[in-house]
Structure 1
Amino acid sequence: MKQFKMLVSKLAIALIVFAAVVAKLSASVVAAGGDNEMIVIYAQVPDDWENPCVWAWDNDGNSAFDMWPGGEMEEDKDNAGWNYVYIPSWANHIIINANGGEVQADEIVLEEAVNTWVTIAAPDDASISTEQLTEGDIPEYVEKFPVHVRVDESWGVPTLQGTLEDGTQAFEDAKVMTLDATDWYTANIPVTAKSITVSSEDGKNSTEDIKIDAAQVWVSVEADGTYDFSYVDPEKAAAPNITVYVIAPSDWEKPCLWAWSAPDGTGVYATWPGEAFEEGENGWLCKEVPGWINSIIVNANDGTVQTADISIDSGVDVWVVVTDKDNYEVYYEEPEVTIDTADATDASEGSSDSTEAASNEQEVAGAKRDGGSNGSSLPLIGGTIALALVAAAGTGTYMAKKNSK
């Protein structure tokens, strides 16, 4: 009897310990999963808005998606006219756009991290509801990753199909891919896809099953169906670094560089204002960046003062003399400068491009931050938005933007 009581006592202690461990683990799971909670955004858009997408970010400028135009919306087959996409619950700013990002609605600020239904009559006319406006169950969230494809011209517009872990197909019908700003055809596929097949527009040509990892991938297909693929953008992987040299006004504190590639929006840095310049020689500030960039912004004072977007040549060092936020000069050879006034005299006649930035903040193609009175890092630039998310491949940061035509 005594041994039985001891056994019961030990079992009770073990159960208590087990319960405590389970409770602790459960709490950890909840805490860890909090940032991964997803909400659904539904949208009804005008009839001439094709392939609607959602761009989403938070108050600090962290983007939910790698590149503009953002998350591709899917048609809800049970609710005609409605499209949906899941976004992280922390993303409380959205822009619904379509036609490859060429048309867009005004920014919407989500007051609550809940499922939201948006009806768009025109770019500046949208109504918002947190009450469900669709019938039936909301489709479950499926995590996806982008597949980028280039094919021989004879293939036309390619389609994408995939085989999932359970052997089923990723799409009921092969997905027609969309041409993006980088001249790659792109489509998203579930992360459970173990292989993909690219086919021609008429279905007469296709690759073999291409076994891939669940990561952003670039696939180049020849006319005969042979292919190469890479998890790094081939056009950016081989680009050597360049140095950006800058002289900024004396009252600009801690100048920083923001840099990206237009028009695709691939950025170097994860969040605004980018990275601080380093001290160079002859009074210049300097920063080494990937050679594939072709656009920069020089900013300072924690990003509250900045130039407009500055277009530069890719693959070569560049010298930029900033007189004030509206005026700068670009050189491809080091000019002679007077640091006190930031006036520049080119040492080699005809080697400079002078640009006076429009002071009315015209539409531009990069990531500008306007320090608002509320202190929010709202990514608005006239008709342009631009944000960034670190790429898994480590070759840079994917920034997405929209440049209104």
Structure 2
Amino acid sequence: MKFARKMMALAVSLVLFVLTVPTLAFAADGERCIVYAQVPEDWTAPCIWAWADDGTNAFEAWPGEKMKADGNNPGWYYCWIPAGAGNVIINANEGGVQTADQKLEAKNAWLTIADADTVEVSYEAKTTGEIPPYVETFAVHAKVEESWRDVRIWAWLAPDGTNAFEAWPGEAMEAGETGWYTANVPVWVNSVIINANGGEVQTEDLTIDAAEVWVTVDAEGAAEFTYDDPEAPDAEDITVHVQAPADWSAPHLWAWSAPDGTNAFSAWPGEALQEAEGGWLALTVPGWINSIIVNGNEGSVQTSDLSVDVGKDVWIVVTDAENAEVLYEEPAAAPAAPDAPATPVPAAKEQPAESGVNPVVIVIAAVVVIAAAAGVMIARKKKRS
């Protein structure tokens, strides 16, 4: 039986390995490659669309990320993409023209585009000078009065005064179709000024978080800002389902929007969860929330802050204050226990010298049971796309 125990241990190790294999994700601090593109003269504002082999997109929406002109190499544009996003399309004219899908290696690449059907890919530099460093950024949007022309943004880190741009009045903001101007600034920035007319008109210093922000400016330069798109349609309410520990009395839900801190409820510990079908507790909350705390015992015991996707129903399984699992589909019900035998089975009086059961069969059966359990566990971790 020693052999069977060793095989069982090996089977368990293999299952644990399967459960801990990481899924593909594009982390902000992950490896990145730069993609250069030289496009035809009639291609304006080139963008890059990129995705991984499993279909994970590098950017939120078509036409992707706007490529930046390389001032040292006229006609060339560049953009950093995750190294795992090796499938790219270069497009321009607001997505009106595009190349075919290009399969790239996980290294810096230079694409020379003669037309939509003719693309030459090289992994040897076609540009001169040093490759610009990758800098993580976030978007700043501004809506200003019509009298403001050549809208720009000045950005810096307070209190040390490190500037994001070389000289005042800063980076030009790009006008959008909805009347908002947009520019990207480095994530280390915490202060901005929106200005125009060669810097003659401007807002006061605005202290902001490193998150996408919308700034509204009146004719006198007075400004207000929000971290929620003011013109986005209101998100529909969502339902939060919770399984709380049995010793948590009167479980409540606290919910808010980060980083702006808008709370869904007026006071801690929030709103009481109600009994729902399938043994769940549930509560309907605004669809704009993205952060949740489940608490009990009048708020004296609670989970940590749980980040959730905006606008999606969610199922939260709380094991204890330190352990909670967030799911976007209801987990499968636990398998029913086998029926008890009709009559008790008498205990064996003595252990036979040799068992008639092949230990390999025991191991195979055990692996099947463990693999089945693993399947349930994996299904519970899977997010709805």
In structure 2, the CA distance between the partners of 1:229 and 1:102, relative to structure 1 (3 Å rule), is: farther
**1:2-401 equivalent positions in 2, closer than 5 A:** 36-110=30-104, 112-164=105-157, 166-173=160-167, 174-236=170-232, 238=234, 240-241=236-237
In structure 2, the CA distance between the partners of 1:179 and 1:107, relative to structure 1 (3 Å rule), is: farther
Instruction: Name stretches of at least 5 consecutive residues in structure 1 with no aligned partner.
Output: 1-30, 243-287, 292-398, 400-405
3-state SS of paired residue (1:68) = coil
Letter in 2 for 1:195: S
Distance of 2:50 and 2:286 partners within structure 1: 27
Distance of 1:221 and 1:203 partners within structure 2: 14
In structure 2, the CA distance between the partners of 1:172 and 1:34, relative to structure 1 (3 Å rule), is: closer
Residue 306 of structure 2 aligns with which residue?
A: none
Q: Residues 179-200 of structure 1: CA distance to partner in whole angstroms, max 9, x if unpaired?
A: 3354422111111111111112
Distance of 2:220 and 2:74 partners within structure 1: 39
3-state SS of paired residue (1:186) = strand
Distance of 1:114 and 1:99 partners within structure 2: 27
In structure 2, the CA distance between the partners of 1:80 and 1:210, relative to structure 1 (3 Å rule), is: same
Cα RMSD (Å) of the superposition? 3.2
The answer to whether the 8 Å contact 1:35/1:90 transfers is no
TM-score, normalisation: structure 1: 0.48
The answer to whether the 8 Å contact 1:143/1:191 transfers is yes
Distance of 2:229 and 2:99 partners within structure 1: 30
Give the deviation of 1:52 after TM superposition.
2.3
Distance of 2:148 and 2:182 partners within structure 1: 15
Distance of 1:201 and 1:50 partners within structure 2: 25
3-state SS of paired residue (1:189) = strand
TM-score, normalisation: structure 2: 0.50
Give the deviation of 1:169 after TM superposition.
2.2
Residue 329 of structure 1 aligns with which residue?
A: none
Residue 325 of structure 2 aligns with which residue?
A: none
Give the deviation of 1:89 after TM superposition.
0.7
Letter in 1 for 2:182: T
Q: Residues 65-112 of structure 1: CA distance to partner in whole angstroms, max 9, x if unpaired?
A: 2343322322223323222111111112222223443433333222x1
The answer to whether the 8 Å contact 1:35/1:88 transfers is no
In structure 2, the CA distance between the partners of 1:178 and 1:119, relative to structure 1 (3 Å rule), is: same
Give the deviation of 1:224 after TM superposition.
1.2
In structure 2, the CA distance between the partners of 1:50 and 1:32, relative to structure 1 (3 Å rule), is: closer
The answer to whether the 8 Å contact 2:26/2:82 transfers is no
Percent identity of equivalent pairs: 47
Q: Residues 253-305 of structure 1: CA distance to partner in whole angstroms, max 9, x if unpaired?
A: xxxxxxxxxxxxxxxxxxxxxxxxxxxxxxxxxxx9979xxxxxxxxxxxxxx
The answer to whether the 8 Å contact 1:162/1:193 transfers is yes
Letter in 2 for 1:225: G
Letter in 2 for 1:85: C
